Structure 1
Amino acid sequence: MKVGSSLLAADTGGLSTRYALGLAQFISACHADGREIVLVSSGAVAAGRLMLRDHSHEDTSNAARQAMAALGQTQTVALWQRLFDHPLAQVLLTHDDLRDRRRYLNARATLSELLNYKIMPVVNENDTVAIDELTLGDNDNLAAIVAALVDADLLLIATDIDGLYTADPRTNLDAEPVNEVLELTTEIMAMAGCAGSSVGTGGMRTKLEAAEKAATAGIQTVLFNGRDSEVVSLLARGQLRGTLLHTSATRLHARKYWLRHMPAVTGHIHVDAGAAHAIAHEGASLLPMGIIRADGMFQRGDMVEIVTDGDAGMLHVIARGIAQYGAAEINRIARTHTRDIGDRLGYSYGENVVHRDDLATLGDTGLLTGEYA
């Protein structure tokens, strides 16, 4: 379950248990029914801002935000701990924890072990050390990633409105609630606004993006109003008053899900049409002969995007995968036969630049981008 800053921030600054208490009672009811909960909680920056307001009230720099997060993390966990009799565990994740396969699996093992001990993890992004270009950005998407990480049955997103509407109900009186979404179409995504609350980083669009990620992993998502005590009470009894976003019937293999949705490094491998077809339609690995060039500063073991020429000079992202060679090495072996890799580099990590087992195709979900052009 993800709880946003708007449900924890006090009107005068800092954190409040006003809405957290009802959510904690819901979690306790779940525990009593034998359900395991992983809590993804925002609020650290809001808590830290109050503690530093005499020193940096107007400071919006990244360093100030990180200092607020460092102070506020303990406050956030302390708030939740006051509401439970059993122990909680703080788990802070970074972009690199989710991008690196070994660290990703380590995080999954830690969360699973905590749940085995009946300890509820309280997860947040580690804003204290994250840098702008390598942040996860919002806890909605982090919650979807964590849901897949622990193989959750359901993703619950507690927000400050009643769910998805056809338009923003705070500015459009004609907006109507959407109780159920069978598929996240372009029209559904267009219903979401872009802005979040004054204390949070996400809005309705990030919640739909999170639901889309969760659906890919076979996980349904529920959006509900965490400020409405009746809604929370009904939810504890299995009755939803909000929006249910369904999942697809099939479920990606956990590794393929990770490859498709984890953050990639800045950079890409540009391939020709033949290689693009082989990857997209024949389940092939990426070999040096089909590579035009590599852009960026990525290293061996990094997750990168594989792109090909699209329309109007744009590049089309066809797949994502773990590179067996760094960008500089790929540029030295591009357009060569696999048997020549050793001669070009003086060593070889194998004939595949990206092995098919380390590669996930995007199909029609691939993006056109001019960023690398």
Structure 2
Amino acid sequence: MKSPNWNRIVIKVGSALIAPERNGCSSHYLLSVASFIVRCRRQGIQVVLVSSGSVAAGSHLFRKSKNTSGHDKKAMAAAGQTEMMATWDRLFDFSSAQILLTDEDLRDRERFVNIRNTIDSLLENDILPIVNENDTITTDRVKVGDNDNLSAMVATSVQADTLIICSDIDGLFDSNPQLNANASLISEVRDINEQVYAMAGGATSAVGTGGMRTKIEAAEKAVSHGVTTYIVNGFDQRSFDMLIQGKNPGTLFHPHQTPLQESKHWVRHTTKALGEIVVDDEFSLSPKQSVDSLSSSDLIDVVGEFSVGDVVLLRTDSGEKIAKAKTNYSSCLLDFVAQQGDASLNQKIDGTPKPILSNKFSAIMEAQ
């Protein structure tokens, strides 16, 4: 029997598998997932589990209402998280650890690195990391929004070689299989383009928040970092049997031959731009140039408020996105320079050791 050539994998399990009836956690579908994780660990494969489901697991403890508030959902997450962790803990005879994250944790470079170091330490001590978004404290400003994309961010953070995203269907189809009986499964994808996104459609589960589109977004993040990605049917035990045999039970997304450098991948796919630096439409970066060639004389406007070290979008006045990068200066100072257009001010900025934008933490937007 062929075994998969994995060293470290991330597997994402959604709410529909955790609490399919929204009546607390159920081990019905989780037994297959747990068995798969156990078999992987026996083969020396390190596993990180990204598990949604805290809101779905805790919702049955609250009075039913058609207009559930955001605060109610946060309370459901708080109650359901302990039930979900207890359920996973019962399925394993080894230790697990809870890691709750927000988007803010991922987009802050120091915290991002700390996440990796913590998970590395857990794995080195044979402890299973179980990751979820911290739904009890998230706001729209610091919310990833779905655990598909969170799983891709975690996979790139911990340098996994494979990401497995569990769905409620077999994988990506050329049309909605619930509406079209002749829909065909796409077994392999080598280039995630607009055509692939067009096939993704919307959500098929009434329990989870992520649909097929978010899974494609996650796959795009992962493969650009060299992470092989699968979308498989988590409700079918045969999916896990095939995976452990080195077979493809769903849709396989091939990793890029030349992955993005880790720091550039973090800027492009994990961070959010907190503001914009606007340059003239004629401004461009040649293949040999980098964002640190940007001069204060190129600035024509600054949008939003940001501080030193925040990630911003560099774009033209007509809206063309050029790059994302860490800024070495605040919006206040850059806006002052852009509005004044004073040569002496230009010299004050350009004369410092630091350029306006950091080349190390940057990503050209055309570099998919």
Report deviation, 1:234. 2.4
Out of 59, 63, 77, the residue aligned to residue 49 of structure 1 is 59
Which one is further off, 30-39 or 198-207?
198-207
Note closer, same or farther for the CA distance 1:172–1:86 as it changes in structure 2 (3 Å cut). Answer: same
Letter in 1 for 2:30: A
Report deviation, 1:355. 2.1
Letter in 2 for 1:78: A
Note closer, same or farther for the CA distance 1:12–1:213 as it changes in structure 2 (3 Å cut). Answer: closer
- Post-superposition CA distance 1:119-164 (Å, at most 9, x none): 1110011111111233111111111111100111100011111111
Is 1:340 aligned to 2:349, yes or no?
A: no
Mapped to 1, the partners of 2:352 and 2:148 lie a distance apart of 38
Letter in 1 for 2:209: T
- Post-superposition CA distance 1:287-327 (Å, at most 9, x none): 322111111122221111111134xxxx1211111111221
- Post-superposition CA distance 1:24-56 (Å, at most 9, x none): 00000000000000000000010121122x2x5
Note closer, same or farther for the CA distance 1:82–1:338 as it changes in structure 2 (3 Å cut). Answer: farther
Is 1:145 aligned to 2:145, yes or no?
A: no
Alignment check: 8 A CA contact 2:22 2:207 kept:
no
Mapped to 2, the partners of 1:137 and 1:297 lie a distance apart of 23
Q: Which residue of the partner structure matches residue 365 of structure 2?
A: 362
Q: Which residue of the partner structure matches residue 41 of structure 2?
A: 31
Mapped to 2, the partners of 1:219 and 1:340 lie a distance apart of 45
How many residues get paired?
356
Q: Which residue of the partner structure matches residue 163 of structure 2?
A: 155
1:60-209 residue pairs with structure 2 within 5 A? 60-209=68-217
Mapped to 1, the partners of 2:132 and 2:189 lie a distance apart of 27
Which one is further off, 327-336 or 297-306?
327-336
Report deviation, 1:283. 1.7
Note closer, same or farther for the CA distance 1:289–1:174 as it changes in structure 2 (3 Å cut). Answer: same
Report deviation, 1:69. 1.2
Alignment check: 8 A CA contact 2:308 2:328 kept:
yes
Gaps of 5+ in 1: 366-373
Note closer, same or farther for the CA distance 1:276–1:85 as it changes in structure 2 (3 Å cut). Answer: same
Mapped to 2, the partners of 1:231 and 1:255 lie a distance apart of 34
1:286-365 residue pairs with structure 2 within 5 A? 286-310=294-318, 315-334=319-338, 336=341, 340=345, 350-363=353-366
Gaps of 5+ in 2: 1-10
Mapped to 2, the partners of 1:287 and 1:337 lie a distance apart of 13
Note closer, same or farther for the CA distance 1:66–1:364 as it changes in structure 2 (3 Å cut). Answer: same
Q: Which residue of the partner structure matches residue 272 of structure 1?
A: 280
Alignment check: 8 A CA contact 1:325 1:349 kept:
no
Q: Which residue of the partner structure matches residue 371 of structure 1?
A: none
1:241-256 residue pairs with structure 2 within 5 A? 241-256=249-264
Is 1:4 aligned to 2:9, yes or no?
A: no
1:13-24 residue pairs with structure 2 within 5 A? 13-24=23-34
Report deviation, 1:360. 1.3
Alignment check: 8 A CA contact 1:224 1:242 kept:
yes
Mapped to 2, the partners of 1:112 and 1:57 lie a distance apart of 42
Q: Which residue of the partner structure matches residue 4 of structure 2?
A: none
Report deviation, 1:276. 3.2
Mapped to 2, the partners of 1:338 and 1:112 lie a distance apart of 50
Q: Return structure 1 stretches of 4+ with deviation > 3 angstroms.
A: 273-276, 335-339, 341-344, 348-351
What CA RMSD, in Å, does the superposition of the two structures yield over aligned residues? 2.1
